């Protein structure tokens, strides 16, 4: 019973912004949205997380809708090295719940 | 930078062999995890440890055991390797943020 829905794949041109959508219509009030990515032949890498406010760090921005039912990860200037599988994960901040990586979305950045 | 290292990138073993996969982290993290990743199945949690000598089963512990004798080292053991344990094995440690896990590069294990 997946908590999130992502497109299977997406293409983006190098240098352009990549907007990666995620639906989480059943998210509860104490659940956060986490994003990870996995570059080919590497382990997953944490990108960013948020609760309800928009967040930005050196890697990306996270925009969460006001109703919190969806979010968008933005890579402002995609590079070829951003080609990866991106995972959107909804999870309680505390407690013993463990990360569940779904199938994710394959982003291909084209030259 | 946090560094999580795994003993081998590639490993080939025979059915019935005992296999040790080693993971070391250098940031004094308390929580460590072992996952396996298979096409179409995503990452699945095998075991985790929240302290030295402490361990808990994940979603698919059958056929595996773990050892955490020192805080920085978390070992995954396949007591008697089988072909269905051919997989990519990923180790992770948990940082300061509740779900910020740092992953190693993975070990691709093939059991013949």
Asked if residue A95 has pLDDT above 70, the reply is no
The pLDDT assigned to B25 comes to 96
Q: What is the mean pLDDT of residues A95-110?
A: 87
Contact at CB, A94 and B97, closer than 8 angstroms: no
The pLDDT assigned to A1 comes to 55
Q: Does A35 touch chain B (CB under 8 A)?
A: no
Nearest CA in chain B to A85: B42
Asked if residue B28 has pLDDT above 80, the reply is yes
Q: Does B61 touch chain A (CB under 8 A)?
A: no
What is the rounded distance in angstroms from the CA atom of residue B74 to the CA atom of residue A1? 30
The pLDDT assigned to B92 comes to 95
The pLDDT assigned to A48 comes to 96
Asked if residue B96 has pLDDT above 90, the reply is no
* DSSP letters for B41-93: TEEEEEEEEEETTEEEE-S--TTEEEEEEETTEEEEEESS--GGG-EEEEEEE
* DSSP letters for B55-67: EEE-S--TTEEEE
The pLDDT assigned to B106 comes to 96
The pLDDT assigned to A53 comes to 86
Q: How many residue pairs from chains A and B have C-beta atoms closer than 8 A?
A: 48
- What tokens appear for A12 in the block? 């983006």
Distance from CA of B102 to the nearest CA of A (A): 7
Q: Does A95 touch chain B (CB under 8 A)?
A: no
Over pLDDT 90: what percentage of chain B?
87
The pLDDT assigned to A37 comes to 97
Q: What is the mean pLDDT of residues B20-40?
A: 94
The pLDDT assigned to B40 comes to 84
Contact at CB, A98 and B48, closer than 8 angstroms: yes
pLDDT tens figures, A68-93: 999 999 999 999 999 999 999 999 87
The pLDDT assigned to A84 comes to 97
pLDDT averaged over every residue in chain A? 93
Q: Decide: residue B63, CB within 10 A, 0-12 exposed, 13-18 middle, 19+ buried.
A: middle
Distance from CA of A109 to the nearest CA of B (A): 22
CA dihedral A44, A41, B51, B17 (to 10 degrees): 150
């Amino acid at each position: 019973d997946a908590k999130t829905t992502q497109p299977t794949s997406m293409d983006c041109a190098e240098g352009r912004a990549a907007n990666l959508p995620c639906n989480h219509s059943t998210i509860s009030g104490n659940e956060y949205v986490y994003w990870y990515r996995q570059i080919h032949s590497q382990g997953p890498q944490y990108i960013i997380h948020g609760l309800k406010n928009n967040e930005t760090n050196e890697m990306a921005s996270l925009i969460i809708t006001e109703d919190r039912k969806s979010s968008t990860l933005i890579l402002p200037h995609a590079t070829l090295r951003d080609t990866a599988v991106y995972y959107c994960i909804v999870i309680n901040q505390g407690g013993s719940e463990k990360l569940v990586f779904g199938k994710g979305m394959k982003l291909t950045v084209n030259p | 930078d946090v560094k999580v290292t795994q003993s081998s990138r590639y490993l080939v073993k025979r059915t019935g062999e005992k296999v040790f996969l080693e993971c070391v982290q250098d940031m004094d993290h308390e929580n460590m995890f072992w996952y396996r990743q298979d096409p179409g199945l995503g990452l699945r949690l095998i075991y985790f440890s929240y302290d030295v000598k402490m361990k808990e089963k994940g979603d698919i512990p059958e056929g595996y055991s773990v050892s955490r004798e020192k805080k920085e080292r978390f070992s995954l053991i396949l007591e008697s390797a089988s072909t269905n344990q051919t997989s990519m094995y990923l180790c992770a440690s948990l940082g300061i943020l509740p779900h910020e896990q740092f992953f190693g590069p993975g070990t691709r294990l093939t059991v013949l």
